Structure formats: C-alpha cells, structure tokens
C-alpha cells in the first residue's frame, strides 16, 4: 500500500466575487483523503459558495482548483464521479417513492460494498414507508434521506452543507452515528456554524480569514 492520499483537492489563490464584491479571496488550501474539514462562517458568509467551487459546480472568479486521484489529475467536470453531497439546496424528486428515489440515486453513484437498498431503508427506520411518496415525508425525513444517500454512496469525497438542518435532537444523534459508521477514510468536508455538526473535524477553514485582504495578481 502507498501512503499517498487517494484523492486531493488543491486551492491556489482561489477567490469568488459577486458583481464587484469579493465573497472571499486568496484561499490557498489543500484537502486530502482520510481527513475531515469544517468550513466555518456565519449565515451568508460564503460557505456554500466555496463548497460549490470544491465540488466543481461553480468556478472561481480567480485562482485555480486542482484535483488528483491516486496521483493522477482529474478534470473538474469529472470530479462529481468521486463525491457525494447532501445540502439544503439539493432537491429530492417529490413524485418518487422512497424505493424509487434510492434506485434513481444509485444509478449515478455506486453503493457502498455490503450495503443494500433494504439496509438504507432500515437505516432510515422507514421499513413501512418504502412505497410512500417523498412529497409526503416531513422535512426531517427528507433531510435524513439526503444524508443516507450521501453517506451510503461509495465515493472518496463526502461533502455536507448544514447536515442537521431540519433534524431534531434524535436526528442529530443519528447523523453523528452515520459519521462514525461511514466517514472513516474519506475526505469529509462540512459547511457549518453548528458545533455538533463538525466538532469531530480535525481541520477548520474560517471564511472570515479570506475576506478583508487585497486581491493578489
């Protein structure tokens, strides 16, 4: 076995602006497999914007983002194959049943080895709701489903934006159990301002550190 991280994300002087206002500037940072990172900041600070740059769905206004997998460069448009994401702005297909939603998701992402659709439904404690339409789920159950789909995808990168939004205390405990079961060995990135969502993360990136500084050329 090699000691080289299986996947790495490099940010080189990355910045993003909206019109003339810089959301953040000059981020130089490296994310590597087997580590957990918290992107921290107040609501509206730009956490989700940075996460969208990291997952390739949004380009930086300046700077460069580079991905490698087992030492080989990955094109930005291909990084989605290596990551799973749960976020408040990601919509579930409301007219699908739970069964159909799980089947649909795993047409695009590989399922963790040793895990079945039945295991995911049991993990959600929704064995009696497999044929229930998603639109009749509570906001908390929809959030649990988003998290279960992300955690149970066999991807090297796990990205979570405000993972316990709409979850009660029991749901928060359930989320933390998922972290224990399914996050080990992955590159885990969490956007949050709630300590219980990220207190296990070994590394922290504060958006405020990249706001009030001159833009480098």
| Domains contained in the chain, CATH given | 36-56+81-210 (3.40.50.300)
Give me the chain's average pLDDT, please.
93
Name residues whose C-beta falls within 8 Å of residue 76's C-beta, 6 or more positions apart in sequence. Answer: 56, 59, 65, 67
Average pLDDT over residues 125-143: 96
- Residue 35 near residue 202, CB atoms below 8 Å: yes
H or E stretch covering 217: none
pLDDT of residue 209: 95
DSSP H helices, 76-127, are 98-105, 117-123
Evaluate if residue 215 carries a pLDDT over 90: no
Residue 72 has pLDDT above 70, yes or no: yes
What mean pLDDT comes out for the span 31-51? Answer: 95
**pLDDT score for 217:** 53
For 143, residues 6+ apart whose C-beta sits below 8 A from its C-beta are 86, 164, 165, 166, 167, 171
Mean pLDDT in residue range 123-128: 96
Q: Which residue has the higher pLDDT, 19 or 11?
A: 11
Residue whose C-alpha is closest to residue 192's, from 34, 47, 44, 91? 47
Q: What was the pLDDT predicted at 131?
A: 97
The pLDDT value given to residue 2: 39
pLDDT the model gives residue 130: 96
Whether 178 contacts 151, CB under 8 Å:
yes
Burial (CB count <10 Å: 0-12, 13-18, 19+), residue 168: exposed
Asked whether residue 150 carries a pLDDT value surpassing 80, the answer given is: yes
State percent of the chain over pLDDT 90.
90
Using left for φ > 0, alpha for ψ between -120 and 50, and beta otherwise, residue 79 falls in alpha
Q: Hey, what are 15's tokens?
A: 């910045």
Q: Give the per-residue pLDDT at 129.
A: 96
Contact residues for 8 (Cβ-Cβ < 8 A; gap 6+): 30, 31, 32, 33, 67, 68
């Amino acid at each position: 076995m090699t000691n080289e991280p299986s996947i790495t994300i490099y940010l080189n002087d990355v910045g993003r602006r909206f019109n003339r206002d810089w959301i953040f500037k000059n981020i130089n940072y490296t994310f590597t497999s087997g580590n957990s990172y918290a992107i921290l900041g107040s609501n509206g600070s730009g956490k989700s914007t940075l996460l969208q740059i990291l997952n390739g769905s949004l380009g930086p206004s300046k700077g460069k983002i580079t991905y490698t997998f087992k030492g080989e460069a990955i094109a930005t448009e291909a990084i989605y194959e290596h990551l799973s994401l749960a976020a408040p702005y990601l919509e579930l297909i409301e007219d699908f049943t739970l069964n159909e939603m799980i089947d649909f998701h795993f047409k695009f992402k590989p399922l963790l080895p040793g895990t079945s659709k039945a295991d995911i439904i049991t993990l959600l404690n929704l064995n009696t709701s497999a044929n229930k339409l998603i639109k009749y789920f509570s906001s908390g159950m929809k959030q649990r489903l988003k998290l279960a789909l992300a955690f149970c995808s066999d991807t090297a990168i796990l990205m979570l934006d405000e993972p316990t939004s709409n979850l009660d205390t029991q749901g928060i405990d359930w989320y933390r159990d998922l972290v224990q079961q399914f996050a080990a060995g992955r590159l885990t990135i969490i956007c949050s301002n709630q300590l219980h969502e990220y207190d296990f993360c070994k590394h922290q990136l504060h958006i405020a550190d990249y706001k009030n500084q001159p833009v480098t050329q």
